[in-house]
Structure 1
């Protein structure tokens, strides 16, 4: 994360490919030795099965496990099989598969736009990000990191659930445009030692080593160490001056991660940590002919403990405790009048603890009650802005407490009709008082068709950074953002293994918080004009007996300021996505094609044309212990730009890249 200042080797690649090829040869030898072995129970448990989408168990939309067909809110899923076959290497690439989500990058951070709303420079604070139910948005920016610096590596992910729409009735702050829950794998899918290697033509090498165990007594767990490095990163700014372009070999990104999980019956202990160093040459504002290194250091972690206890046949108590840490330091060089280069230091520290208590009660089969209370204690929130870490410019330190009470009632009126109602009240020491209701109705037309209608509200309170930046500027603190959303969904299982879904929605947004990026180094925030958004999201899925699968999604979304109908920046009106997987002559070899298309987007500097990009990959499951993917991303080398930053500078997005990944279970 950067402070509020508007500045901004192919030889090694050959060596890395040699390492990967050697690993491939060793893996192939192992395959020959194991080819005749009978699959174990653990290996059989890892094999995918065909499931009716309405019967898939999800937990994000209702905050408790239930079949997708019983939830008033639509939940989209990306599975571990899709992550492997399409070689999705970080959460950015995974989220790009979901309907209505648009992702972009400035090579340092990933940015999300949902249903046409994505404010430039926002670090995804309007999407609540969870890991197995643990809130991981930080307590300074409310940021959700989705790039290579996300806590969990893709090979550890069992599935990712995305529930679009207003979610504050259950989750409170940040569940403004939707909730993303990353579900990690259980011990049966990570049994033994696993080595994951991935490299691409953009000089990126990812290495992960994990070990998992699952015992008949019920104990299971895994631990993972990983390293991701990308060197010689191509500059996104196509107009970067020549002195900067000459230093491309110094443009790099390095991430180290540690993650672990332990489960025993109803108990889960989990932890994860990320250490990141990002270095990027950039031109100096006072003299663009001179350049220096802009640097970011980031350290994040969380530790969580979850337990569920059956009080009776009708009641169950859930307890969830987590503690989190967020440390960020940025170094921004600048020129003083004497001609010397000095550095702005921006140091951010956050420490917070979350406690969630939920009581699930089913007094009779037709009624289900969920009562909960959760709180967040921000024991430390501080940031300091200085010159060379000596001359202070701004220093802020504070604490905060948040508490939320929520209740949800599900009433199965008849076999075909279900009514869901809920509300939540949030209170903070910083004068946030928000009431968030939600109502939903499910009508099961037939065994194959259902209709659901829901209305809900959500809020996003100004984060610590927005509040204190305004206080420093002697400006009033912005009011909380508010949104209310009405949506209707139709789902159907059709003949010939087709599944289709259509969602129409209408949202009204007030008090959208926007930054005024003027001449001052400290950004000023204000509540922008009211926004109206409406759209249509459609999906279609087809499976064949041969094992081939096709997934289509199309989104039409219009987000406009209500007073003048001007469109929002960073807001595509049309999105189209396709995933197709086809066995080639044998069940263990698949051809995988992914296509992403978007319409034009606007930025403060003009319009950016639409584009379509294609990825084609071969995935080969040599045996239950070895999986290889080889292919091309952005096959036709489509050049396209995005403008996710407040400056509106068009940034070049990734060009064509050869991809290779190996996942080997060696024990």
Structure 2
């Protein structure tokens, strides 16, 4: 047991990663046993009488069940990233923070493109995790069913904490919570009223200015944030980025029972995409301009007899202008001098969402919540839907969760959701968990959940055709509609442990999981009945369901240590074995990931943070090439931050020097179509980036 707290133990543990998929399972079993043994060791350490209040410091989380539950009582694994950790990391991109979460597989295809998934499997636009801001889904049909992390109308300064549910949670937040939930919770407007400003400048054209203003008086609070950022992306890539965000949150306490909240925000900018040597210019270098607007209102009523209800409405509106010309070489006899073919991904989308939720305590040992929601998505993208605009995508949903503490130290949390999407059968998504808390300092859980994946409308109805304008000849048909695609289903089982020990003031979170996915959706080559001219060079494709189950089996854990009073270590490690009967699908899951973060405070206001990330081989990401498989190689990257904070003339000041992507240049997320050209080196290696930041509070 003592050796588990020796740093050499964890160094050896990270070094013993699987060398190939054929060796993954024995190694995985060894690590599962190690993780469970460590949990038992922590439990033994926690058994002393002097640790009765260890879980008193655990946060109360709502994202898992919509019920206020201590983290150790929640029906599933949840990672809480608080504001202090976000500030200590100093990242400019929100998605980069998620690299520290066990099970997350995060990377960049270019400087302005973030690929965020849980347990991998995702293609170009990950959609298997529900992403929320204050409970509002940020998924949009205009991003092909995914999330554009670089364009979110949100500044990092607004964030209070992030709750990441690791495991299926469709019962609580719908079908996009297929593998988990990321809920970004903003600060209450009445928190820390005042003014603040920040400036950043650094390599690769990094520059930014942000400002915040907040006031609170007589029950009314409001906070205004503005943020402007730019950078030139990674060296050798066409990926400059410019973004501006303006947001406002207001909270008004009407009386002792009622509170109104309102958040409005907008973001806009431009970013470079594509490659200058893309085959036939199908993914040529270009610029996309985007605009995003959100309105989110909530009325919350606390009942005098206990419990509360809430009524919420939000609207998301997204617009993207993205057009370019592909160039054809001379092609006799049709185009003896070559030709220019106009292409575009111009698109807009609107989502309206109405939701009611009621929570109550039917007894002293139980609490429950139920709710209903209605949602409508509308998409306008003529070039992407050659057969005509898709109809409105409607969702109707009922959900409920119930917690019952039936004996001292024992509780169940059960729930179910009924949901129906337009054109789909009525689906039931159940969940049941049993939690055992044998002592205050450690907790065990076991549970099962089922979820159905909402199909992005593009995967079913996307139909892209490129014509030469003068002759009307069909040049390529890269996406072919397939109305037979079915919703994927996941059945997930897990065993978890959460404990704390006096040894190095440590806290351990372990999740062992087995996830079985039926009708997994992926993109494959197909034939086009319209005989495009470049059918061989640019093969048509469509989305289909895999004919065999995909299983993910593994272990993930996070260990927090305080080896001395001024330092903190955070270690995350994940091992996964994917089995689908297809190497191309299995390769979309990195078999291992690990991260180590060391936060250190020094005298006189100085502090430092170091994060080391190790990512296994991964084939997830952008592009499509049916003729060649491509897997990005494993890599290790290092991020550093040195900061000083203090007061100057009664004003709080913080100065920081930040660096990311240190070490050997590497590729994280590949564009498979670009890599199919067979060049000697990866087409999109990341670059080291260094910047200086100054923050001033008034």
The answer, yes or no, to whether TM exceeds 0.5 is yes
Give the drift of 1:507: 0.3
Give the drift of 1:607: 4.1
**Stretch of structure 1 that moved more, 267-276 or 134-143:** 134-143
1:480 to 482, 487, 508: 487
Give the drift of 1:551: 0.9
- Is residue 645–residue 654 contact of structure 2 (8 Å, CA) maintained in 1? yes
Provide the C-alpha distance between the structure 2 equivalents of 1:441 and 1:63, rounded to a whole number of angstroms: 17
Query: Where in structure 2 are the equivalents of 1:191-590 lying within 5 Å?
Result: 191-215=193-217, 217-231=218-232, 233-236=234-237, 251-265=239-253, 266-280=259-273, 282-283=275-276, 293-336=285-328, 337=335, 338-378=337-377, 380-385=378-383, 395-469=388-462, 473=480, 475-496=482-503, 497-516=505-524, 519=535, 523-528=541-546, 529-543=548-562, 546-561=565-580, 563=581, 568-586=586-604, 588-590=605-607
**Stretch of structure 1 that moved more, 454-463 or 428-437:** 428-437
| 2:116 maps to 1:112 | yes
Give the drift of 1:230: 1.5
2:609 to 592, 601, 612: 592
SS of the equivalent of 1:501 reads: strand
Give 1:9's aligned residue: none
Deviation digits for residues 197-224 of structure 1 (CA, Å, limit 9, x no counterpart): 2233222212212211122x22111111
Provide the C-alpha distance between the structure 1 equivalents of 2:163 and 2:174, rounded to a whole number of angstroms: 18
**Stretch of structure 1 that moved more, 180-189 or 397-406:** 180-189
Provide the C-alpha distance between the structure 1 equivalents of 2:327 and 2:144, rounded to a whole number of angstroms: 32
| 2:111 maps to 1:101 | no
Change (3 A) 1:189 1:199: farther
Change (3 A) 1:180 1:609: same
**Stretch of structure 1 that moved more, 60-69 or 137-146:** 137-146
Change (3 A) 1:366 1:481: same
Provide the C-alpha distance between the structure 2 equivalents of 1:291 and 1:142, rounded to a whole number of angstroms: 16
2:89 to 86, 95, 99: 86
- Is residue 257–residue 275 contact of structure 1 (8 Å, CA) maintained in 2? yes
- Is residue 91–residue 154 contact of structure 1 (8 Å, CA) maintained in 2? yes
- Is residue 489–residue 501 contact of structure 1 (8 Å, CA) maintained in 2? yes
**Stretch of structure 1 that moved more, 610-619 or 135-144:** 135-144
Change (3 A) 1:204 1:458: same
- Is residue 435–residue 444 contact of structure 2 (8 Å, CA) maintained in 1? yes
Change (3 A) 1:644 1:320: farther
Give the drift of 1:543: 2.5
Give the drift of 1:655: 2.4
Give 1:610's aligned residue: 634
The runs of 5 or more residues in structure 2 that have no matched partner are 1-52, 254-258, 329-334, 465-478, 527-534, 621-627, 676-681
1:642 to 665, 668, 672: 668
SS of the equivalent of 1:608 reads: coil
Give the drift of 1:478: 0.6
- Is residue 127–residue 144 contact of structure 1 (8 Å, CA) maintained in 2? no
Give the drift of 1:106: 1.8
Provide the C-alpha distance between the structure 2 equivalents of 1:476 and 1:143, rounded to a whole number of angstroms: 16
SS of the equivalent of 2:102 reads: coil
Provide the C-alpha distance between the structure 2 equivalents of 1:581 and 1:399, rounded to a whole number of angstroms: 49
Give 1:240's aligned residue: none
- Is residue 137–residue 144 contact of structure 1 (8 Å, CA) maintained in 2? yes
SS of the equivalent of 1:83 reads: helix
SS of the equivalent of 1:196 reads: strand
Give the drift of 1:564: 5.7
Deviation digits for residues 154-181 of structure 1 (CA, Å, limit 9, x no counterpart): 1211111100111111111210111001
Give 1:166's aligned residue: 168
- Is residue 131–residue 181 contact of structure 2 (8 Å, CA) maintained in 1? yes
Give the drift of 1:191: 2.2
Give 2:62's aligned residue: 59
- Is residue 261–residue 271 contact of structure 1 (8 Å, CA) maintained in 2? yes
Give the drift of 1:435: 0.7
Give the drift of 1:661: 1.4
The runs of 5 or more residues in structure 1 that have no matched partner are 1-49, 237-247, 387-391
- Is residue 416–residue 444 contact of structure 1 (8 Å, CA) maintained in 2? yes
Deviation digits for residues 547-578 of structure 1 (CA, Å, limit 9, x no counterpart): 321111111111220x4677623321111111
- Is residue 382–residue 398 contact of structure 1 (8 Å, CA) maintained in 2? no
- Is residue 170–residue 406 contact of structure 1 (8 Å, CA) maintained in 2? yes
Give the drift of 1:63: 1.9
Change (3 A) 1:550 1:71: same
Tell me the number of residue pairs that the alignment of Structure 1 and Structure 2 aligns: 591
Give the drift of 1:401: 1.7
Provide the C-alpha distance between the structure 2 equivalents of 1:271 and 1:438, rounded to a whole number of angstroms: 34
Give the drift of 1:615: 1.5
Deviation digits for residues 611-642 of structure 1 (CA, Å, limit 9, x no counterpart): 2211221121123722221133233x222213
Give the drift of 1:450: 0.6
Give the drift of 1:234: 2.1
Deviation digits for residues 297-342 of structure 1 (CA, Å, limit 9, x no counterpart): 2222211111211234233111111111122222132125344544
- Is residue 54–residue 67 contact of structure 1 (8 Å, CA) maintained in 2? no
Provide the C-alpha distance between the structure 1 equivalents of 2:181 and 2:422, rounded to a whole number of angstroms: 25
Give the drift of 1:287: 5.8
Deviation digits for residues 426-479 of structure 1 (CA, Å, limit 9, x no counterpart): 012222421100000110011111101111011112211112126994633310
Deviation digits for residues 398-427 of structure 1 (CA, Å, limit 9, x no counterpart): 212211111111110112000111000101
Provide the C-alpha distance between the structure 1 equivalents of 2:174 and 2:636, rounded to a whole number of angstroms: 36
Provide the C-alpha distance between the structure 2 equivalents of 1:530 and 1:648, rounded to a whole number of angstroms: 30
Provide the C-alpha distance between the structure 1 equivalents of 2:54 and 2:382, rounded to a whole number of angstroms: 52
1:652 to 684, 687, 692: 684
Give 1:16's aligned residue: none
- Is residue 67–residue 368 contact of structure 2 (8 Å, CA) maintained in 1? no
